[in-house]
A and B are shown apart, each in its own frame.
Chain A
Amino acid sequence: MQPGYFFEGGAELVGKVVLVTGAARQLGGRFVRRIQRDPEVERVIAVDAVSPPQRLGSAEFVRTDIRQSAIARVLAEHAVDTVVHLAVTGGAAGAPGGRSAVKETNVIGTMQLLGACQKSPTVRRLVVKSSTSVYGGTSRDPAVFTETTQPKSLPSAGFAKDAAEVEGYVRGFARRRPDVAVCVLRFANILGPFADSALAEYFSMPVMPTVLGYDPRLQFVHEDDVVDVLRLAAGEPRRGTLNSGTFNIAGDGVLLLSQCSRRLGRPTVPLLLPAVTWVGSALRAVGVTDFSPEQIRLLTHGRVVETSQMRDTLGFKPMYTTVETFADFARSRGSGLLPPERVERAVRRAAAVLRVEGQEIGAGVDEGAKR
């Protein structure tokens, strides 16, 4: 028990019991370690089907599969009042059981968990991790998605479809249990030094295949911000804010895929769209990376979301912008075949050959900015 606990007055003095699903994953583990340090949290129950590779601190780990009804017993046994559902994932390339197991955990697991929550009299708050991929992404979509944008075409398979279905069940649950505060967080692509997502793997390839003739706009959110916003959503709302509802979570700004590859120093190979699909399945067969059709969709049309709800209603301000998130990720991955610094030096050398001094390049920058 935290020392600060006794100084907090009022009704919140009742220590909270937080249940976190998907705790064996990188992000879940970090969140479990972080939330147990919060003064109003009394106990943290971490749940996953596999044992966590990292330590979870003082949290209590319960090894159970959320696809089974046993999860209801866990909820009742520990009198859980806050459920943070993080077991909605795209699944890494090497995940056991492959895509169908991931899908089952996402969809059936969510149904079981929601069923358990519905029966539990103690649950007061539910936080669900979703993704901005529920918006799909086609050439006919508006450039920026808001929380109310209806997708032009629903994702037909993959994680995006799972997330859309999960959100549908969560909406149903919210209708049936209006007394439970439900918060759905739609995260943009999560990156950071420890990211293990499919996109992080893609950015780690020595040569990145891209779709010829398309330069998608990408948005990132930093792992640290993800943990922070989950904490915000799992706690009591601060004055003047509301933490139930659906929110887009993304860092400010936009990076084009071409900018990403140049900043990483990794060359790209533009391929025709059918060829990308083919190369993608070949890479997946070898187990290099999870190059799903949905990822190809992201790398074709990109996805940008509006985050004013996150700022104004949820009251969350991310620490990292999209550019800073990407820079942090790039630092952790080491340089590619064409590090930007070396390219920059080459240009300077060319400038020296042309007898133009570095100072004048600076002047040229100013002039360029003025134009």
Chain B
Amino acid sequence: MADAKVIPFDEDRPRRRGAVRKVRAVPDPAEPAGSSESVEPGVGSGPEPAPAGAGDGWDRRIAGGLAFLRRRITGEYEVDDFGYDKELTDQVLMSLLRPLYDKYFRVEVKGIENIPKEGGALIVANHSGTLPLDGLMLQVAVHDRHPAERHLRLLAADLVFMLPVVNEVARKAGHTLACAEDAQRLLEAGELVGVMPEGFKGIGKPFGERYKLQRFGRGGFVSTALRAGTPIVPCSIVGAEEIYPMIGNAKTLARLLGLPYFPVTPTFPWLGPLGAVPLPTKWTIQFGEPIPTDGYAPEAAEDPMLMFNLTDQVREQIQHTLYKLLVQRRSVFF
């Protein structure tokens, strides 16, 4: 109980700022018809607070919603080459994730100024949590907290694009397959790209190994950033490790289902769908100092030694920040 009294001011402030923003970005009334996304039951209980401005505000919102609805059902909206549907992401998908971000995980963001205002950059983050909620929260964090409201384009595993419905939503939310071609194309187009190089090794690791960074693939992300000449922004996410404490892995079942792992948590699969509700941990996302890559010669991307060194540098920085954040953390849930 004594814990609860010593919330530092700087920790509280960004949260309140988020609440103000939320009123501005209240979802359209047309939304629920649009999609029945995977909103966790626990989240549904806390509906959006009605803003203070009554009558006029509602009229305007209905008008906006109808205009949105009209554009959607006549198909008059635009998607980019990757299938990214900016309008749908901003108006629907983000609004669905925001309660989870603001109310459930109470994400605190540090070092947002390390993300450049414009131009390409590669955000490299640790990966954890059995389900890739950390990527989605990172996307909301970058969009809501960055002064330029930048959109994060996540690189996702091929499993995402093999699953029906999931692949469709992922593409519309601006995600694409984690391959060098797509990453380079996005970076060269000046987009902000997010990658979690640990992949399944990170997200599917047992609870006992939490916050221990796994191998960073073969470091392909470094050579891609080098080729595109964009900075690398290391990012550490604390809190996602404990949402589904994975105490076991049903490997045979995973192999049968064609999945990289089949998580067994204290609640899943014992409680059925209820077991899929994540624990309400308190999250911190910290962006570190960008690592510039424009000082290297073009052929440097072919130099394996340099790639390993840079990969290690990024990895060390993320691991170091993780430990620092963990020391600062008072409790998993507050």
A interface residues, Cβ below 8 angstroms from B? 139-144, 146, 149, 211-215, 217, 253-256, 258-263, 273, 302, 304, 340, 343-344, 347-348, 350-351, 354-356, 360-365, 367-368, 371
How many angstroms between the C-alpha atoms of A262 and B78 in the bound complex?
13
B interface residues, Cβ below 8 angstroms from A? 25, 59-60, 62-83, 85, 87, 90-91, 158, 161-168, 171-172, 176-177, 179, 181-182, 185
Which of A255, A261, A365 has most chain B Cβ within 10 Å? A365
Q: Which of B81, B85, B91 lies in contact with A143, CB distance below 8 A?
A: B81
Q: Is the CB of B75 within 8 A of A139?
A: no
Q: Is the CB of A368 within 8 A of B181?
A: no
How many angstroms between the C-alpha atoms of A368 and B63 in the bound complex?
10
Q: Is the CB of A142 within 8 A of B177?
A: yes
Nearest CB in chain A: distance from B268 CB, A:
23
Instruction: From known contacts A344-B70, A371-B91, infer whether A215 and B63 are also in contact, taking CB-CB under 8 Å.
Output: no
- The chain A residue sitting closest to B180, CB to CB, is A142
Q: Is the CB of B83 within 8 A of A364?
A: no
List 10 contacting pairs A-B, 8 Å CB cutoff, sorted by A: A139-B158, A142-B179, A143-B181, A144-B81, A214-B164, A217-B82, A217-B83, A263-B74, A361-B66, A371-B90
How many angstroms between the C-alpha atoms of A11 and B181 in the bound complex?
43
- The chain A residue sitting closest to B94, CB to CB, is A371
Q: Which of B63, B79, B162, B177 lies in contact with A363, CB distance below 8 A?
A: B63
Q: Is the CB of B80 within 8 A of A254?
A: yes
Instruction: From known contacts A262-B74, A350-B66, A360-B63, infer whether A254 and B79 are also in contact, taking CB-CB under 8 Å.
Output: yes
How many angstroms between the C-alpha atoms of A83 and B225 in the bound complex?
44
- Inside 8 A of B67's CB, which chain A residues have their CB? 361-362, 364-365, 368
Q: Is the CB of B69 within 8 A of A347?
A: yes
Q: Is the CB of B63 within 8 A of A254?
A: no
- Inside 8 A of A139's CB, which chain B residues have their CB? 158, 161-162, 167, 177
- The chain A residue sitting closest to B70, CB to CB, is A347
How many angstroms between the C-alpha atoms of A362 and B64 in the bound complex?
8
- The chain B residue sitting closest to A272, CB to CB, is B164
Nearest CB in chain B: distance from A335 CB, A:
12
How many angstroms between the C-alpha atoms of A73 and B96 in the bound complex?
69
- Inside 8 A of A213's CB, which chain B residues have their CB? 163-168
Q: Is the CB of B59 within 8 A of A360?
A: yes
- Inside 8 A of A354's CB, which chain B residues have their CB? 62, 66
- Inside 8 A of A256's CB, which chain B residues have their CB? 79, 83, 85
How many angstroms between the C-alpha atoms of A263 and B75 in the bound complex?
5
Nearest CB in chain B: distance from A347 CB, A:
4
Q: Is the CB of B182 within 8 A of A144?
A: yes
- The chain B residue sitting closest to A259, CB to CB, is B75
Q: Is the CB of B81 within 8 A of A262?
A: no
How many angstroms between the C-alpha atoms of A273 and B179 in the bound complex?
26
How many angstroms between the C-alpha atoms of A263 and B83 in the bound complex?
17
Please name 6 further chain A to chain B contacts, defined as beta carbons within 8 Å, in addition to the given A254-B83, A347-B69, A356-B63, sorted by A numbering. A215-B83, A217-B82, A253-B81, A256-B83, A354-B62, A364-B63
Nearest CB in chain B: distance from A141 CB, A:
8
How many angstroms between the C-alpha atoms of A344 and B66 in the bound complex?
10
Nearest CB in chain A: distance from B82 CB, A:
5
Q: Is the CB of B167 within 8 A of A351?
A: no
- Inside 8 A of B68's CB, which chain A residues have their CB? 364, 368
- Inside 8 A of B81's CB, which chain A residues have their CB? 143-144, 217, 253-254, 304
